[in-house]
Amino acid sequence: MPLSFDMPLEELQTYQGRNPKPDDFDAFWDESVREMHELGTEFRLEPANFSCSFADCYHLYFKGMGGARVHAKLLKPKQQTEPSPAILMFHGYSMDSGDWSSKLPYVAAGYTVAALDCRGQAGGLSEDVGGVQGWTLNGHIVRGLSDALDGHPEKLLFRNIFLDTAQLARIVMAMPNVDETRVGACGGSQGGALTITCAALEPRIKQLAPIFPFLSDYKRIWEMDLAVDAYRELQDWFRRFDRQHLQEDAVFNALGYIDIQHLAQRVQGDVLWFIGLMDKICPPSTQYAAYNKLRSKKDIKHFHDFAHEDLRDANDMIFEYMMEL
């Protein structure tokens, strides 16, 4: 079996990506972060129905970009006597923050855990306030794309979701029971992408562990004819709105604002990355486009015979890694 269906490993290790980076990318994100900071770190807690002998469990709500009411699960150790480390968890595309019980190993180890519900996805409790032009039948990559092509990339929905991750980090870091210098982030697929964006937009994140991250190198996906499954909405958008691809260059440039490979160089925390070399949903080259741009301490774990699926032992490795915070 080949080392990767995509590229030989030695080529992956030097690959720099295909999707363009907008000329004003850095200014765009600097301004976006400034706007997010203006929202502050206020939040509201509601006790959860779930209970545990060693954890206090809450629904956490905060006001996100555009006035959206954003939700996260928050779990804290009982009888805590000093500030503890914290873990931020991010979920896969079209899913939600998951079961309360899945967070308990970290709480049992003395960590605070916050798990975000991405706005507008699946059964999560976060609010999607809308307010963009056009069609969003298949998903969120293309939500706001028509506005971005008209000169308003701030309307891209993932811009706000990316900022939600950093705002949640700031809220958790400001909690008196949390040591703001010992905060980590993790997640798989979309959650892997949000792990990277969270650390890029809130550089105090100390350690991050993304698993086969999504939302990277869109043009490479298109050229590999893999705009299916999670990336299907790219093909659908062209079929409905640009059948002759007259705007193709502008489309991929606009998507560059929400391409994680261009945010990766902002990450300052240590990175432990997990990749399946047979992944045809988030191909290895798209992941390496981002990984190769990281400037902080990093390591990557290759699962040679695995695709976009459960990478056995990965979660155990992440738990051990986060215990070093």
What is the set of active-site residues? 189, 279, 308
- The 3-state DSSP class for residue 298 equals strand
Of 243, 178, 240, 227, residue with least CA distance to 204:
178
Between CA 184 and CA 164 the distance in angstroms is 16
User: β-strand 178-188 against 112-116: which pairing, if any?
Assistant: unpaired
Dump the DSSP string for 39-76.
Answer: T-S--EEEE-S--BTTEEEEEEEEE-GGG-EEEEEEEE
| CB-based contacts of 116, cutoff 8 Å, min separation 6 | 70, 71, 72, 88, 89, 90, 91, 97, 126, 164, 165, 168, 194
Question: Which of 34, 22, 79, 31 is CA-nearest to residue 53?
Answer: 79
